[in-house]
């Protein structure tokens, strides 16, 4: 299976200005949603000229999509580094270690970007009206390689043959996304009895344990 890398326009002016606009826009879109956020509001917070939105991104819609492209490219490179070259795995223990590291690192990377994943959760719940193409590419590439890694495990008899690898991959990604979005949106509702510094570790360990061991004795 071959995967296409993400592409984005190269900024001709100061790259740090472009990045700052993206950072601020990500926070604003996550907080208020696409419709309520304004270009003027974003540029004021980023201390940037309003004209730069058109220059760098072609407008508000392009800015919104560029946020997904940036994280998607980073995520894809990380997945390639962790799950690529799977054919050199020769033992069950090595396969499990690689899989465990991937699951834990995926959660750590997701939880380090709560604004983005809150934004993505919002976009997906709304039916992906603005970023469907880039989200499909982002999730599709990562899920495709994860599925390939699981299929390799089935072939080598490292994991159960009855596992549907596509659904297994979707299940773990959606569990992570759901927990991160809930924690970012209403931590007081779902996690009120747990100290904040313990939540990420607890979520990561619990989901990883369920994936490896199930919940029954």
Q: What is the pLDDT of residue 151?
A: 94
Q: Set out the domains of the chain in order of their start, with CATH numbers.
A: 65-213 (1.10.357.10)
Q: What is the pLDDT of residue 193?
A: 61
53's CB contacts (< 8 A; 6+ apart) are 21, 39, 42, 43, 59, 60, 63
Q: Please state the separation of Cα 161 from the chain's center in Å.
A: 28
Q: How far apart are CA 89 and CA 156, in angstroms?
A: 10
Q: Which residues of the chain have pLDDT under 70?
A: 1-13, 181, 183-197, 215, 217
Q: What is the pLDDT of residue 113?
A: 84
What is the reported pTM?
Answer: 0.78
Q: What is the pLDDT of residue 192?
A: 62
């Amino acid at each position: 299976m071959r995967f296409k890398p993400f592409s984005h326009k190269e900024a001709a002016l100061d790259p740090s200005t472009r990045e700052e606009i993206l950072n601020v826009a990500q926070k604003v879109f996550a907080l208020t949603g696409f419709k309520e956020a304004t270009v003027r509001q974003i540029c004021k917070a980023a201390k940037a000229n309003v004209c730069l939105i058109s220059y760098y991104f072609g407008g508000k819609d392009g800015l919104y999509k560029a946020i997904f492209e940036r994280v998607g490219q980073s995520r894809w490179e990380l997945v390639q580094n962790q799950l690529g070259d799977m054919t050199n795995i020769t033992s069950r223990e090595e396969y499990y270690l690689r899989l465990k590291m991937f699951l834990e690192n995926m959660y750590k990377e997701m939880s380090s970007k709560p604004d983005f994943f809150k934004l993505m959760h919002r976009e997906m719940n709304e039916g992906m009206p603005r970023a469907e193409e880039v989200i499909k590419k982002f999730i599709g590439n990562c899920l495709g390689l994860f599925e390939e890694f699981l299929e390799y495990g089935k072939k080598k008899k490292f994991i159960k043959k009855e596992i549907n690898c596509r659904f297994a991959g979707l299940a773990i990604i959606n569990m992570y996304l759901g927990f991160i979005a809930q924690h970012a949106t209403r931590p007081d509702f779902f996690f009120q009895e747990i100290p904040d510094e313990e939540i990420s570790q607890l979520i990561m360990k619990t989901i990883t344990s369920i994936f490896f061991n199930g919940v029954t004795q």
